[in-house]
Structure 1
């Protein structure tokens, strides 16, 4: 089977997405006077951080962006790049939890997120393969037909254009479907680089490979520490997918991974649309041209981070794809992380546990392109004027357990289980000799538990298995060769370096 070019940049601790080809070349090198005080420091160079940074810079603020790796390395670089006017939290669920006004505000935010992307593309002449497409959602059985009816009715109620449709460009048999015009797709890294170019042209400053590990406040000055480096500002934005360290968001947002394939077909029957089924978890499909070659982009098989088997998730997704499509080869496979909020709405605004002037945005579910874009605008408005029409509904300080209370209890019972059970469920007879090249496992050696990985040359990479975020025990992700925390989604490479937060410190090495 033909597979992806693994010489391309490794993203998010493992397999690169096709968009990552645009991240080749030298890293950004933007210098500044270390004694300079900025108006705003944005921690994180994904779609949220750069949207906010560019907006604030254009409003006359002096902005510094710090990225632990390089812009586009994380979830923005791993997205399947669907731009929707509907969301994983349905408008029916939104109305149930937040009332009619809340559902309408949520719909407005999703639509405005799309509008932000389109406006920035037009304003800065960003070439990023942006194309508007019809979207389709289809039901395969009677239960799904009823769910689809609810989605349809609630979408119309908040003004989302949706109609029943009998024809869908999918080979999957279905009973009922809807069409949603005005959806879109793009190349997320080309878009992000367009934002970076505009941000730097406006005088913004970027630093890569800087992992911010603490924020403190004295008088009216916020200090961001990153190892031996310090930076000062009047406001700080955590655009890090989830805020670092242990916060309330550690227990209000559950980490999940979603899996994606880039597939070449034999018959060239690529759908010219964005297509979604209603399975749990659902599949999502579209087409994109990469390096002059059409590819089917198909994703799904989501599961909680650090749980289940990532390699099996890829295998099941490929099996599903081959069942319905005439596959020639799998050119790419990758996964990305997202966080499901307890009550269905993102958290955007002043961070309640932090000093005044520290903002965050998290909990986008699977809709990071739209919600990340509107989050950037909301944060910019809050810092510049203190106001946004979404200020209250998305407030990180809100207490709204009703909608997601059952899920909230389930997720945190799972976290509590892993705090305790993982420490006692390791096979006591496991030894390092049982590790095959390219595999890893938490094992017992001389009475001590270690996270051990044997590389292809036979060398053992040994780490403490205790996540530095909240002391859960990490699990090995065989598909991406990373150590993933089953509690809050922190991830580490085989040498213990932090790949994604909320951890800010790596796993300690054992031995040489």
Structure 2
């Protein structure tokens, strides 16, 4: 159950704008005694945008579905996204065209429109109050090099059939050399939309189990048996909508975890951007406006870096300095970050999970287009589960092998993973000493000839954990902004007590006694 007033927590201590400005929503509690005795058509693990959109669509198609969520609806990335709904993608169309051909680029553009349209359709069909609005999306270049790149993006977008036009102005107070306008983009209040999907799904007969982490699954006699904290759930089909699948599989080497940082600010003037805007820096900045409870907020993000590698505090400082330089800022009311996974070849992985039991599906690798591709995933996964043919199946298949597309990224990201397995175990001398820990701070330190993840509370109490990620054995790093232990290899994250916040790990970090 979600009560009507309490803020659903997220996978970090920094609340997003959406958490503190959301609709009053109650989901009816389920009778777990009845659930345990049934064999479901589809078990969906994960209660974010991908899981709930997929479950709702399958329920509409006559399938009996159950959603299993480790925490509560809105806990993960959907509760922290900035909810830009784009047919302009993080992987530009000329790159897609080069790697997957002109027909592949057109299919991706079709998929992007389909993802946008299912959101619009759900909002209308179920009367979800989530501030859905169509907007223009303005991409602008500020240097000669960026302008040359933007010209390629513009031409390839048009060839792919995307509705894009030259733009004479941009909605933010910045100098620019060239800009293009992607028409019919959109924005929403993501948490209100997600809660609306949850209500529609349960009203259609679907079941949602919250606070029910999955520990294991196996398939016996044609049925998946999913082990949870509340018992075994059985179903014919299994969908992992968990941002990245659990366990250890090939997709963990084809997807790299990143964090992006966001500010929610009020301006001293009324010069808020009236459309979506994006620069072409690396990493790029993104801008939009949202009105909540009578107040307008400039939502501004960027400063992305690989999970467990960068400095979160420095990322926020960078964004704040940029914002104050270019806008008349009255106050910065919100700071938060969220995680996404970057696919090696630029396209999401949607379909059967490689190396898994039969009838196990996954959707991951959405880059910075999670709301869009999470929604599109529901269309493709529903077709696969229902046995329908789909023009998208081969292009987005997790089983695809493209020796050229994304090969450089694949080598770069996984060379880094190998480095973290080795280097993090050797360079103990440069780690902070135990006595140097400030209150509410953590660090991996050398302590009595072993590596230990230490955290000092505001009262000065020290707690210790094994720093070895329970997923694949990398050494975690301290995230001082979100107060979490983040794995630099595959994006697993743990709270200060070692409890899993974000998969793929299923087990908590082991507590260590210092006494």
Task: Please indicate, yes or no, whether the TM-score normalized by the shorter chain is above 0.5.
Answer: yes
1:247-266 deviation digits (Å, cap 9, x = unpaired): 10110000000000000110
Provide the C-alpha distance between the structure 1 equivalents of 2:437 and 2:496, rounded to a whole number of angstroms. 14
Q: 2:103 maps to what in 1? A: 101
Q: What does residue 3 of structure 2 align with?
A: none
Deviation at 1:213, TM superposition (A): 2.2
What is the CA-CA distance between 1:27 and the residue it aligns to?
A: 7.2
Change (3 A) 1:376 1:358: same
Of the three residues 309, 312, 317, the one matched with 1:310 is: 312
Alignment correspondent of 2:16: 17
- CA distance in 2: counterparts of 1:288 and 1:429, whole angstroms: 42
Residue 335 of structure 2 aligns to a residue whose secondary structure is: strand
How do 1:3-42 residues align onto structure 2 when only pairs under 5 Å count?
A: 8-21=7-20, 22=22, 29-32=29-32, 33=34, 34-42=36-44
Q: Partners of 2:98 and 2:107 in 1: how far apart?
A: 14
Question: How far 1:315 sits from its partner (Å)?
Answer: 0.6
Residue number in structure 2 paired with 1:3: none
In 1: Cα distance, 2:312 partner to 2:289 partner: 24
Unmatched tracts of structure 2, length 5 or more: 1-5
| Residue of structure 2 in register with 1:223 after alignment | 225
Alignment correspondent of 2:376: 374
- Counterpart selection for 2:167 from 151, 156, 165: 165
How far 1:10 sits from its partner (Å)? 3.5
Which residue does the alignment assign to 1:51? 53
Secondary structure in structure 1 of the residue aligned to 2:261 = strand
Conserved? CA contact 1:68–1:209, under 8 Å: yes
User: In the TM superposition, what is the alpha-carbon distance from 1:291 to its structure 2 partner?
Assistant: 2.1
Deviates more, 1:338-347 or 1:31-40: 31-40
Q: State the partner residue of 2:410.
A: 408
| Aligned pairs for 1:375-454 within 5 A | 375-427=377-429, 430-454=432-456
Show the counterpart of 2:155. 153
Over aligned residue pairs, what C-alpha RMSD do you find? 1.5
How far apart are 1:159 and its partner, in Å? 1.1
Distance 1:128 1:23 in 2: 9
Distance 1:429-1:158 versus aligned 2 partners, 3 A rule:
closer
SS state at 1:407 partner: helix
Q: Distance in 2 between matches of 1:471 and 1:28?
A: 39
Shift of residue 427 of structure 1? 2.6
Structure 2 distance, partners of 1:198, 1:162, is: 34
TM-score, normalising length from structure 1? 0.96
- The answer to whether the 8 Å contact 1:9/1:23 transfers is no
Deviates more, 1:140-149 or 1:223-232: 223-232
What's the offset of the Cα at 1:23?
7.8
Structure 2: distance between partners of 1:457 and 1:27 = 38
Q: Is the 8 A contact 1:223 1:231 kept in 2?
A: yes
C-alpha contact 1:19 1:187 (8 A) present in aligned 2: yes
Alignment partner of 1:207 out of 186, 189, 209: 209
* Residues in 2 aligned to 1:296 and 1:426: alpha-carbon distance in whole angstroms: 42
Question: Within 1, Cα distance between the matches of 2:165 and 2:502?
Answer: 40
Query: SS in structure 2 opposite 1:427?
Result: helix
2:287 aligns to what? 285
Counterpart CA distance in 2 for 1:144 and 1:304 is: 23
Q: How many residues align?
A: 506
2:67 corresponding residue in structure 1? 65
- The alignment partner of 1:393 has SS state of helix
- Of 469, 489, 492, which residue of structure 1 is paired with 2:491? 489
Contact 2:303–2:315 (8 Å) recurs in 1: yes
Q: Deviations over 1:77-100 (max 9, x none)?
A: 110110111100111111111111
8 Å contact kept, 1:28–1:208? no
Q: Is 1:342 matched up with 2:341?
A: no
Deviations 1:440-464, CA, capped at 9 Å, x for gaps:
1001111121100101111112110
- Unaligned stretches of 5+ residues in structure 1: 1-6
Deviates more, 1:19-28 or 1:104-113: 19-28
More deviation, 225-234/293-302? 225-234
1:202 CA displacement: 0.6
Supply the distance in 1 between the matched residues of 2:294 and 2:264 (Cα, whole angstroms).
14
Of 473-482 and 431-440, the range deviating more from structure 2:
431-440
What is the CA-CA distance between 1:381 and the residue it aligns to?
A: 1.4
Q: How far, CA to CA, are the matches of 1:126 and 1:286 in structure 2?
A: 21
Tell me how far 1:429 sits from its aligned partner. Answer: 7.5
